Copies of this chain bind each other. A is one copy, B any other.
């Protein structure tokens, strides 16, 4: 029932430094300490860290995670706030996907234009700059 920071790290696949960092920025509460000043975590902290990790894996920013945590702490509160954050994040992910797909297409075209040979004739270089890069 009592975990060291190393236990927390293994259980959530989060680096020790990252856990300390989360504590420093107030995302995790300051835990109890053992007599030898080691951090001493309980089940609640492990749950909270799991939550943070999972949200981060889904691409939420630390600010979004903070908001999710604060809403989720108030169990009687309306679900709409959570939903709004998640949906806004989904839109952002969709935008990124579209951007990346467009970029990929262009990059592929640049690569395909090259059929070997010396740099002076290279189509990739040509495609990258309008004027001659010295």
Residues of A within 8 A of B (CB): 43-48, 50-51, 54-55, 57-59, 68-69, 71-80, 82-83, 86-87, 89-90, 93-94, 96-97, 100-101, 103-104, 106-108, 110-111, 114, 116-122, 124-125, 127-134
- With a cutoff of 8 Å between Cβ atoms, the chain B residues found around residue A74 in the complex are 119
Q: Which residue of B lies closest to A59 (CB)?
A: B103
Known interface pairs A47-B131, A124-B83; A96-B89 also in contact (CB < 8 Å): no
Q: Which residue of B lies closest to A51 (CB)?
A: B129
Q: Which of B47, B57, B108 contacts A132 (CB 8 A)?
A: B47
Main secondary structure of the interface of A (DSSP, over half): helix
Q: Are A121 and B79 neighbours in the complex by a CB distance under 8 Å?
A: yes
Q: Nearest 3 A-B pairs (CB), nearest first? A: A47-B131, A51-B129, A51-B133
15 pairs of residues in contact across A and B, judged by CB atoms under 8 Å: A44-B132, A47-B132, A47-B134, A51-B129, A68-B125, A79-B119, A79-B121, A80-B116, A82-B124, A86-B124, A90-B107, A93-B100, A93-B103, A97-B104, A100-B100
Number of copies: 2
Q: Which of B79, B89, B133 contacts A47 (CB 8 A)?
A: B133
Assembly CA distance A90 to B101 (angstroms):
11
Q: Which residue of B lies closest to A44 (CB)?
A: B134
